[in-house]
Amino acid sequence: MIKTNVAIVLFLLGFILALLTFPMAWGVSILLGYISNILAIFIGSYLIARCEHKKIPLVLGCILLGITVFSLIETTTVHIGVWTTKELLKESLEGVI
């Protein structure tokens, strides 16, 4: 059983990890960004699994999972777009340079 204080602290930790997914993936390392998002997903899943008829951990876990899934989709979409643009530019400039 998770106490309310622990649930709030875990939610804040997961929320910070989810918010930092894109900046970490863009500025530091793609792998580090995705790992932070996966950790936030695990924290949200843990909150949901251990709620035991308490509303706060369940609600916070659901909110955290929604935020992390959105962040993961956003980061993946941007990276696929950047990679595709790079490949198109490389092919189009192949004969010029």
Count the residues in the chain.
Answer: 97
User: Which pLDDT score, from 0 to 100, does residue 55 have?
Assistant: 83
Q: List pLDDT tens digits, range 43-85.
A: 888 888 887 788 888 888 888 888 888 888 888 898 899 899 9
Prediction pTM value: 0.77
Angle between helices 55-92 and 4-19 (to 10 degrees): 10
Residue 58, C-beta contacts closer than 8 angstroms, at least 6 positions apart: 47, 48, 51
Percent of the chain with pLDDT over 70: 98
Token pair recorded at residue 57: 């951990």
Least confident of 24-28, 60-64, 82-86, 90-94: 24-28
